[in-house]
Amino acid sequence: MVDRVVPDVIVSRLPVYLRALQFMQMQAVTTTSSQDLGSKVNISAAQIRKDLSQFGEFGKQGTGYNVEALIAHLEKILQVEKVWDVAVIGMGDMGHALTRYGGFLNRGFRITDCFDNDPAKIGSQAGQYIIKDVADIGKGDCLRGKMVMLCVPAAAAQKIANKLVECGVKAILNYAPVHLSVPADVRVQYIDPVIGLQRMAYYLHEKNE
């Protein structure tokens, strides 16, 4: 059995489909089509059908897809029917905001640990969490198998990333505005608002008076 690898681009679109489907479900929509879903995420119907066909046959000719069923399939494929433990590292404004964000649990994640290196913060409470010492990462507190949201300053990010890799962390959501060098089996997703703004600035016509 040749297990043909699903291209990255396709995988990266699945969460977008899932989010749109859950939005439909919230609005009590029970059925959709590649056409309909496509219009809601700005992706062609053909593309959506092609993407889904990588994983199975989830639709019915003539009627389309059952929203609830397709959600279940996508959650299974993305492995988010279970809930993953996530650690937040760096309890500045961003780290705090993330711990207070209510949108994780019903989408497959929960924050279990918070770390900082500031002695003034270590041991103190942040909502329901007690902030642990970054220095303890890799000691008793093993993060193996967990995901990490990295919210430390740019200058500290690579060093901590190295530590995380040593600890067996395989997925880092990086809020620090730097590229992280990690082994090929470790995934990194980048969130940098400035990158987003710059990508748009290119297209603006200088209306900035």
Partner DNA sequence: TAGATTGTTAATCGATTAACAATC
Shortest distance in whole angstroms from residue 158 CB to a copy of itself: 10
Q: Residue 104 CB, nearest distance to DNA (Å)?
A: 28
Residue 97's binding partner out of DNA, a copy of itself, none, with CB under 5 to 8 Å set by partner kind: a copy of itself
> Is residue 28 a contact residue for a copy of itself (CB under 8 A)?
no
Indicate the DSSP class of residue 181. Answer: -
d(CA 151, CA 126): 15
The one-character DSSP state at 108 is: T
DSSP classification of residue 83: -
Structure tokens belonging to residue 41: 């995420």
User: x-or-dash pattern for a copy of itself, window 96-115, by CB under 8 A?
Assistant: xxx-xx-xx--xxx------
Token pair 């409470």: residue: 125
For residue 98, give both structure tokens. Answer: 């993330």
Q: What part of residues 148-187 is at the interface with a copy of itself (CB under 8 A)?
A: 149, 154, 168, 170-171, 173, 177-179, 181, 187
Q: How many residues does the chain have?
A: 209
Nearer to DNA, 70 or 88 (CB): 70
Residue 44 site contact among DNA, a copy of itself, none (CB < 5 to 8 Å, cut-off depends on kind): DNA
125 is in the binding site of which of DNA, a copy of itself, none (Cβ under 5 to 8 A by kind)? none
Helix (H) or strand (E) holding 196: helix 193-201
Neighbours of 67 (CB within 10 A): 21
Please state the closest distance from residue 32 (CB atom) to DNA, in A. Answer: 7
Shortest Cβ 201–a copy of itself spacing (Å) = 5
Q: Is 36 in the site for a copy of itself (CB under 8 A)?
A: no
- Taking CB under 8 A as the criterion, the residue among 69, 80, 126, 156 binding a copy of itself is 80
Alpha carbon of 17 to those of 37, 146, 164: distances in Å? 8, 25, 30
CA dihedral sign, ordered 187, 193, 195, 199: positive
- Distance from C-alpha of 153 to C-alpha of 17, rounded to nearest angstrom: 32
Contact set with a copy of itself (CB under 8 A): 11-12, 14-16, 18-20, 23, 40-42, 77-80, 82, 84-86, 93-94, 96-98, 100-101, 103-104, 107-109, 144-147, 149, 154, 168, 170-171, 173, 177-179, 181, 187, 189-209
